[in-house]
Amino acid sequence: MHRRLTFFVILVVALLIQLTVSPEISFGTVKPDFLLVATICWALLEGPAQGALFGFCGGLLEDIFSTAVLGVSAFAKTIIGYFSGELRQRVISKSVIWPMVIVFIGSIMQELIRFASWAMVGLEDRPPFSIGIIAGLALYNALVTLAIYPVIGHFAGGEERALMFQ
Amino acid sequence: MIERQNRRQRILIITLVIICVLLVTVYSRESKDGLFHRLQRFSLDVVSPLQKGMSTVLSPVKDGIGYLVDLGKARGERDRLREEVEELQDQVDETKELELENEQLRQMIAYQESRPDLELLAVDVIGANPDIWEQTIQIGAGYSSGLQEYMAILSEDGSLVGRIILCTSESSLVQLITDDKSSVGAMLQENAEMGVVKGEGGGSVRLELLNQDAEVGTGYLVVTSGLGGTCPSGIPIGTITEISERRADLSVGIVIEPRARLTRLSRVMVVVSPPPTTTPLAAEAGG
């Protein structure tokens, strides 16, 4: 029950921040993806299944509250949430740098999956592919992780907290 | 137990992916008035007041970030402008140098036209002697350019600077008229009274007249007499600025201010022709 409530609260708060705060703290066109950061942080604490579920719900809500192709963000975040959870079980180090590195890589992967998906559905007015913007987004998300990961970790159960990166 | 958990995880991820693919497919195929498109429009309507409110609240943060971004751009702009200023300053310095050079060359040409009997060669000054006891400069031409020792050196306006005392293949050492070993045959332009101009080592020169009773006054121009064979006659040396009382040997102390600006020489003229015929007065005297 505690886990479900935490899941729901984090999801709603991340969505609200994504919709309201994120556009206000953008650097040029680069704005942080709080839902992706929350997905990866949740996956790192709760494992692949929870990560995939969080990513799916977060991505779907993001799609609903935007004009993007419905299901694309959900798809990308589901995959990233799952693999982030899988990765946690293979990283022995407890350095806090790891969540940042995983978010950095996850951000790049998400954008690549989104561009590939848009290309596959034949979306005509898709944005121009820019390595610079993707790298900027990945870096911004990695920095945001420093603030979000401890907050999400605070709500995690005792067992999960023992696995936290310090 | 773990295997069952893994199987459940796999089923979950596959189910979620299939749902996503179905959503993408249905969304892409439905019209703009389809269910999912309408859902998106409704959601945006719901969330827009919230976004507007948050935008107002966070506007100082946004302004702060904008300021930071602008600051980064401003730094780049500042560096670019600094480089541009440096480049322009270099150009201005170069232009000033060229103007000065042009002026010097004009003066030299004008002097050459006024003295067709002299063959002159313009040479750059390449250095000064660091020894405080020797008033010499180094010029950038030597034997290979037709120069030889005891040739007279003039400033750009044709005033006497000194003479060459040492000549190498590519450079020459010039003894200034202010050097205390320098002696030049001279005369007063006003009354043609003859004398010798000797350096005093400190930046001034003095005139020793042969006729101690000759008429002399401040402001008189002293020119070379041509005697001694090193300097052609009629070249201005300087103006008399001070006449002291008769000394114990009954001679009159006459101080001359050199007309050539000896401390600011950058280019000089060498009198190549007529060439020096005899050794200078100081050399004759063993100086």
**Nearest-angstrom CA–CA distance, B10 and B3:** 10
For residues B116-124, average pLDDT: 88
What 8-state DSSP symbol labels residue A69?
Answer: P
Angle at B121 between CA B132 and CA B285, to 5 degrees: 50
Assess if residue A166 is contained within a domain. no
Q: What is the largest CA-CA distance in chain A?
A: 48
Confidence tier at A104 by pLDDT (50, 70, 90): very high
Whether residue B2 lies within 8 A of chain A, CB to CB, comes out as no
- Name the residue among B128, B117, B175 with its Cα closest to residue B150: B175
- Locate the chain B residue with the closest alpha carbon to A63: B40
User: Which residue do the tokens 């990513």 mark?
Assistant: A55
Nearest to A25 among B16, B21, B65 (CB): B65
Is B16 a residue whose pLDDT tops 80?
A: yes
Helix (H, G, I), strand (E, B) or coil at B267: strand
Scan residues 13-32 of A and list those with Cβ closer than 8 Å to B. 16, 19-21, 23-28
CA atoms of B160 and B143, how far apart (whole Å)? 21
Confidence class of residue B108 from pLDDT cuts 50, 70 and 90?
confident
CB pairs under 8 A between A and B: 96
Phi-psi region of B131 (alpha: psi -120 to 50; beta: other; left: phi over 0): beta
Chain A residues whose CB is inside 8 A of the B63 CB are: none
Please check whether residue A78 lies inside any domain of the structure: yes
- For the residues of B19-31, what is the DSSP string, one character each? HHHHHHHHHHHS-
Note whether A74 contacts B: Cβ–Cβ < 8 A: yes
User: In this structure, are residues B147 and B213 in contact, taking their beta carbons and an 8 Å threshold?
Assistant: no
pLDDT for residue A1: 58
Which of A122, A120, A54, A72 is closest to B36 using CA atoms? A72
Q: Give the range of the structural domain holding residue A86, as residue numbers without chain letter.
A: 2-160
pLDDT value, residue B237: 93
Q: What is the 3-state secondary structure (H, E, C) of A111-162?
A: HHHHHHHHHHHCCCCCCCCCHHHHHHHHHHHHHHHHHHHHHHHHHCCHHHHC
pLDDT tops 80 at residue A156? no
The whole-number average pLDDT for the span A114-138 is 84
Confidence of residue B251 (pLDDT cuts 50, 70, 90): low
Burial class from Cβ neighbours inside 10 Å (0-12, 13-18, 19+) for residue A156 reads buried
Nearest Cα of chain A lies from the Cα of B76 at a distance, in angstroms, of: 17
Range of weakest confidence among A119-133, B46-60, B137-151, B201-215:
B46-60
Distance CA B148, CA B163 (A): 10
The minimal CB distance from B47 to the residues A65, A72, A79 is found for A65
* CA-to-CA dists, residue B39 to A63, A65, A74, A77, B48, angstroms: 10, 9, 16, 21, 14
Contact at CB, B24 and A21, closer than 8 angstroms: no
Q: Which CATH number belongs to the domain containing residue A94 in this structure?
A: 1.10.1760.20
Q: Is the dihedral of CA B237, B238, B239, B240 positive or negative?
A: negative
Subunit contact A19:B47, Cβ cutoff 8 A: yes
Angle at B244 (CA atoms; ends B239, B249), nearest 5 degrees: 115
Closest CA to B208 of B190, B185, B225: B185
Q: Which two tokens stand for residue A84?
A: 């982030």
Q: Against a cut of 0.80, is the pTM above it? A: no
Number of neighbouring beta carbons within 10 Å of residue B73? 10
Residue B22 with chain A: CB contacts under 8 Å: 71
pLDDT at B277: 80
What CA dihedral angle connects B249, B252, B253 and B258, to 10 degrees? -130
Using a CB-CB distance cutoff of 8 angstroms, which residues of chain A are in contact with residue B53?
A: 20
Mutate to test the interface with A, among B20, B32, B59 (most CBs of A within 10 A): B20
pLDDT value of position A82 = 92
Contact B36 A70 (CB under 8 A): yes
At B89, the amino acid letter reads Q
Whether residues B69 and A28 touch (CB distance < 8 A) is answered with yes
A65 DSSP assignment? T
DSSP run (H or E) holding B41: helix B35-57
Residue A4 has pLDDT above 60, yes or no: yes
For residue A165, being part of any structural domain is answered with no
Q: Say which of A20, A65, A69 has its CB closest to residue B24.
A: A69
Asked, for residue A53, whether it belongs to a domain, the answer is: yes
Task: Flag if B13 and A48 touch (Cβ within 8 Å).
Answer: yes
Provide mean pLDDT across the span A117-131. Answer: 80
Tell me, yes or no, if B50 comes closer than 8 A to chain A by beta carbon.
yes
ipTM metric = 0.83
Looking at every residue in chain B, the average pLDDT score rounds to: 84
- The C-alpha angle with vertex A148 and arms to A87 and A33, in degrees rounded to 5, equals 80
Look at residue A17 and tell me if it is in a domain.
yes
pLDDT exceeds 90 at position B162? yes
A60 contacts B39? CB cut-off 8 A: no
CATH number of this structure's domain B119-275:
2.40.10.340
Cα-Cα-Cα-Cα torsion A98, A100, A103, A109, nearest 10 degrees, comes to -80
Q: Is residue A123 part of a domain?
A: yes
pLDDT band at B235 (very low <50, low <70, confident <90, very high): very high
Give B36's Cβ-side CA count (13 Å radius).
20
Q: pLDDT at position B285, please? A: 43
Predicted pLDDT of residue B216: 85
**Res. B159 pLDDT band, cuts 50 70 90:** very high
Residue A161 — very low, low, confident or very high, per pLDDT cuts 50/70/90?
low
Q: Provide the 3-class DSSP secondary structure of residue A71.
A: coil
Contact A67 B44 (CB under 8 A): yes
CA-to-CA dists, residue A61 to A53, A92, B215, angstroms? 12, 33, 113
Instruction: Check CB contact under 8 Å for A48 and B47.
Output: no
Structural domain total, chain A? 1
Q: What is the pLDDT of residue B160?
A: 94
Q: Which residue has the higher pLDDT, A92 or B92?
A: B92
Predicted confidence (pLDDT) at residue B284 exceeds the cutoff of 50: no
The band of B127, judged by pLDDT with boundaries at 50, 70 and 90, is: confident
**A92 within domain boundaries:** yes
Nearest to A20 among B24, B36, B54 (CB): B54
Q: Give yes or no for residue B1 having a pLDDT over 70.
A: no
